């Protein structure tokens, strides 16, 4: 049987690589981004290693909703009462660098629009 190498985020979830873990449950982990683009920048990552938004299936519908509910709770715990930006980078043109789907949550400063 072929076994695929773990993604970076699976290795973090399995505690093989250290990270600043803000929250975890049976479906996802939340870590601070190692290269923050805002005063608060964390990633909500499903344990299931879905490569990108393009790889979602109908089975992932409730998981994706869960990620947003967790994002909202952690944003509140991080004091982002003034608002925050949520981003899924998908694919080359969006500069997705880790092929394991993750929701960026950025806050603590005013965000520009349009995004770069």
Query: Does the footprint of ligand AMP cover residue 95 (CB under 6 A)?
Result: yes
DSSP secondary structure string for all residues of 22-35: EEE-SSEEEEE-SS
Size of the residue set binding ligand AMP (CB under 6 A): 12
Of residues 32-61, those binding ligand AMP (CB under 6 A): 33-35
Of 102, 115, 113, 116, which is closest to residue 34 (Cα–Cα)?
A: 102
Euclidean distance between CA atoms 97 and 112, whole angstroms = 22
Residue closer to ligand AMP (CB basis): 24 or 33: 33
Summarize as ranges the residues that interact with ligand AMP (CB under 6 A): 8, 17, 19, 31, 33-35, 89, 95-98
Q: Hey, which residues are catalytic here?
A: 102
């Amino acid at each position: 049987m072929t076994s695929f190498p773990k993604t970076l985020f699976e290795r973090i979830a399995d505690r093989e690589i250290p990270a600043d873990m803000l929250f975890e449950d049976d479906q996802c982990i939340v870590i601070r981004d190692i290269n923050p683009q805002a005063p608060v920048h964390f990633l909500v990552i499903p344990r299931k290693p879905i490569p990108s938004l393009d790889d979602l299936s109908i089975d992932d519908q409730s998981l994706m909703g869960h990620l947003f509910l967790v994002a909202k709770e952690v944003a509140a715990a991080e004091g982002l009462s003034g608002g925050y930006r949520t981003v899924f980078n998908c694919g080359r043109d969006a500069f997705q660098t880790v092929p394991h789907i993750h929701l960026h949550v950025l806050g603590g400063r005013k965000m520009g629009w349009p995004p770069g």
